[in-house]
Amino acid sequence: MAAETITGVIQRLGFADMLIWLLTFAVVYGILNQTKILPRASQALLSIGIAFLVLLAAPAGLLTFISNLSSNLVLVVLGILLLMVLLEAFGMKKTLAIPDPDKPGAFMKKDVFWLTEHSRVFQIALVIIAAVVFVTAGGLPLLGIQLPTNINLTGSIFIIGMILAVLYLVMQKGE
């Protein structure tokens, strides 16, 4: 039985498994290193052993969730980088009048990136995107929340997000 479990883990060893293993190893090694109970080599060996034991006990649902979450986060990060490159390429800058420290009462013009001026909106958008990635990666069942299976959650959230973005842009043009 133990041999089947070990071979099963070795066969399905993927990114999620490595992530759990590395996280467990780092936490256990850090705790052992701070307590200074054991010599350094023993700390490493004990951390490796505990990390493999945790890997054997990890439920398959958690590994699937971590795998989906990491792949979704990579896509989101690439999308945000692409958005920032496009905004920079299209010259989405705002000219601000900043008081000149050398000349009292005078102002300097300074171009700032669009996201610098709207940093609060960008932060709120990142929190919403993180919540959407968590939900679409299958995080709600881990919290004990079950949704009906006939709902396309990713598509629904995308459409609602697009509608809200258009409404925001329309309201900004009216001001």
Structure tokens at 30: 């850090």
CA dihedral 127, 132, 134, 140 (to 10 degrees): 120
Q: What pTM, to 2 d.p., does this model score?
A: 0.53
pLDDT at position 154, please? 67
Contact between residue 136 and residue 72 where contact means Cβ atoms under 8 Å apart: yes
Residue-wise pLDDT for 78-120, tens only, equals: 888 887 788 777 777 777 777 877 888 788 887 777 777 777 8
Contact between residue 72 and residue 129 where contact means Cβ atoms under 8 Å apart: no
Residue whose token pair is 């000219």: 95
Contact between residue 55 and residue 17 where contact means Cβ atoms under 8 Å apart: yes
The number of angstroms, rounded, from the C-alpha of 23 to the middle of its chain's C-alpha atoms is: 16
Where does the pLDDT of residue 132 fall: very low under 50, low under 70, confident under 90, or very high at 90 and above?
A: confident
Contact between residue 21 and residue 51 where contact means Cβ atoms under 8 Å apart: yes
Task: Say whether pLDDT at 129 is over 80.
Answer: yes
Task: Say whether pLDDT at 168 is over 80.
Answer: no
Contact between residue 104 and residue 40 where contact means Cβ atoms under 8 Å apart: no
- Spatial separation of the C-alpha atoms in residues 132 and 162, rounded to whole Å: 14
Residue whose token pair is 């309201």: 171
Alpha helix (H) residue ranges in the chain: 2-11, 15-35, 40-57, 60-89, 114-117, 119-136, 153-174
